Amino acid sequence: MVDYVVYGRGSFNQLDEILSSHRVEGQPMVFLLDHHFENNDAFKSRIPLRGNDELIIADVTHEPKTSYVDEIASLLKNKFGQVSGIIGIGGGSVMDLAKAVSIMMTNDGMAQDYQGYDLVKKKAVYKVGIPTISGTGAEVSRTCVLTGPTKKLGMNSDFTPFDQIVLDPELIKGVPKNQNFYTGMDCYIHCVESLDGTFLNTFSQSYGEKALAMCQEIYLKKDQWDDNSDEQLMMASYAGGMSIAYSQVGVAHAVSYGLSYLLGTKHGIGNCIVFNHLQEFYPQGVDEFHKMVDKHQIEIPKGVCANLTDAQFDTMIEVSLGMKLLWENALGADWELKMNREKLRSIYGKL
């Protein structure tokens, strides 16, 4: 779990103080800033740069790749030897990038060597996550999703969670409507998949139910998005992340990973494209999702697999069936009797 959590409107202003006791003489704090803020001088001036601290603009045009993690880690090792800490400020992509770079500052080899479960051997350098979009739960999770040469899989380990997170709802104010929805629905889908899964336990249920209720409140019940909606979404993301930390996601994520591996479809929108067609697995959740889509007038892309070749379908099916834990959570220990290549092909065909 994350060791320290600071929550509150304006809490970003405490960052200097939070970092001060973690500074090591001669070694910089490295801020990985979402490229969304690249030209926002007012925001950049609030980042507490001291001494030889480094500000790196994180390019999140594509979701993080292992090669990008290696590039940043070797740049920092060559320039500084070691750093005091890595602070990620941005959406889920920057959260994952910051976790991965911090792991690669102390572990040998390449980022792709650690894609999997419990492969990370050494404690990472001090790392802080500061979300500027809420929904993914990446700020609390035990993984950092990366696309490598052969797979899209996180570094899932005890050394992956942040040491500190700063949850300041002010930072997510004004995220464009579509982006807010896609990332917010990631949280909603995490809850549905966790609560409906066979891995469910009281820990996951406690967080999942609360997060689900907050998503329903802000996306269905309320008529206007306001500051309180940002606050609820930020805490829903946290609680939704806590819920899956002790369970797993399910069918939507398993199918959407295949889509994103082949087509580069982003996580939030990819989940929406898939979840839109999963009535068979999550009837109530999908019904409610359709109501949210209508209420917020969101365009969910259709026909994304219309022109794919058989070989491309096979690639997606391969990636998806590889997510064994997700399928087991969704369908039970005998999931292979319930899901097969033909069935998956027909799901991809509908997207």
Chain residues in the site for Zn ion (CB under 5 A): 186
Tokens (6 digits) for 148? 């490598």
Query: Quick check: 144 and 95 in contact, CB under 8 A?
Result: yes
**Chain centroid, CA 342 distance in Å:** 29
**Distance spanning both ends of the chain, measured CA to CA:** 35
Name the token pair of 283.
Answer: 């009837």
Query: Binder to ligand NAD among 47, 60, 105, 155 (CB under 6 A)?
Result: 60
- Nearest approach, Cβ of residue 193 and Zn ion (Å): 9
* Comparison of 93 and 276: residue with beta carbon closer to ligand NAD: 93
The residue at minimum Cβ distance from Zn ion is: 186
- Residue 234 CB, nearest approach to ligand NAD (Å): 12
Q: What pairs with residue 6 in β-bridges?
A: 166
**Residue closer to ligand NAD (CB basis): 210 or 267:** 267
When asked if residue 63 is in the footprint of ligand NAD (CB under 6 A), the reply is: yes
**C-alpha to C-alpha distances, 138 to 41, 95, 215, 228, 252, nearest whole angstrom:** 26, 6, 17, 21, 17
Of 96, 168, 288, 328, which lies in the binding site for ligand NAD, with binding defined by CB under 6 A?
A: 96
By CB under 6 A, which span of 79-87, 141-149, 208-216, 293-301 interacts with ligand NAD?
A: 141-149
Does 92 interact with ligand NAD (rule: CB under 6 A)? yes
Does 85 engage in binding with ligand NAD (CB under 6 A)?
no
Binding window for ligand NAD (CB under 6 A); candidates: 29-37, 100-108, 215-223, 328-336:
29-37
CB of 211 to ligand NAD, least distance (A): 13
Say which residues have a Cβ less than 8 Å from residue 118's Cβ, sequence separation at least 6: 156, 157, 158
What residues numbered 213-242 form the site for ligand NAD, per CB under 6 A? none
189 touches ligand NAD (CB under 6 A): no
Q: Does 248 bind ligand NAD (CB under 6 A)?
A: no
> At 146, is the secondary structure helix, strand, or coil?
strand
Partner from Zn ion, ligand NAD, none contacting 35, C-beta within 5 to 8 A by type: ligand NAD
| Binding partner of 303, given ligand NAD, Zn ion, none, CB within 5-8 angstroms per partner class | none
Q: Which is nearer to Zn ion, 145 or 344 (CB)?
A: 145
Which residues lie closer than 8 Å to 46 by C-beta, 6 or more apart? 12, 13
CA-to-CA separations, 45 to 51, 55, 106, 120, in angstroms, rounded: 15, 11, 30, 35
> Residue 146 Cβ, how far from ligand NAD at the closest point, in Å?
8
Segment contacting ligand NAD by CB under 6 A, of 12-20, 48-56, 173-181, 289-297: 173-181
**Non-local CB neighbours of 67 within 8 Å, separated by 6+ positions:** 111
Q: Give yes or no for residue 143 binding ligand NAD (CB under 6 A).
A: yes
Measured between alpha carbons, how far is 157 from 188 in angstroms, rounded to an integer?
Answer: 24
Smallest distance, ligand NAD to C-beta of residue 161, A: 10
Helix (H, G, I), strand (E, B) or coil at 349: helix
**Which of 169, 236, 230, 246 shows the shortest CA–CA distance to 209?**
236
CB 84 within 8 A of CB 28: yes
Residue 169 is a binding residue for ligand NAD (CB under 6 A):
no
Q: Which residues bind ligand NAD (CB under 6 A)?
A: 34-36, 60, 63-64, 90-94, 96, 132-133, 135-138, 141, 143-145, 172, 175-176, 179, 183, 186, 266-268
